[in-house]
A and B are shown apart, each in its own frame.
Chain A
Amino acid sequence: MPLYETVFIARQDISTQQVEDLTEQMSAFITEGDGTVAKVENWGLRNLAYKVKKNRKGHYVLMNIDAPIPAVKEMERNLLLNEDVLRYMTLRVDELEEGDSVMMQNKTTRPPRRDRDEEVTAKETTTEETAEATTPVASEETPVVVAEETPVVAAEGEA
Chain B
Amino acid sequence: MSDTRRPFFRRRKTCPFSGDGAPKIDYKDVKLLQRFVSERGKIMPSRITAVSAKKQRELATAIKRSRNLALLPFIVK
Contacts and interface: CB of A to CB of B under 8 A. Distances in A.
Interface of A: 7, 9, 46, 48-50, 52, 58, 60, 62, 87, 89, 91, 101-103, 106, 119, 122-123, 125-126, 129-130, 133, 136, 140, 146, 149, 152-154, 156-158
B1 interface: yes
B69 A7 contact: yes
Contacts of B50: 129
B31 interface: yes
A103 B35 contact: no
B70 A48 contact: yes
Contacts of B49: 126, 129
B42 to A, nearest CB: 13
Interface string B34-77: 01000000000001111000000000000001011111111000
Nearest to B65: A89
A50 B69 contact: no
A136 B47 CA distance: 13
B21 interface: no
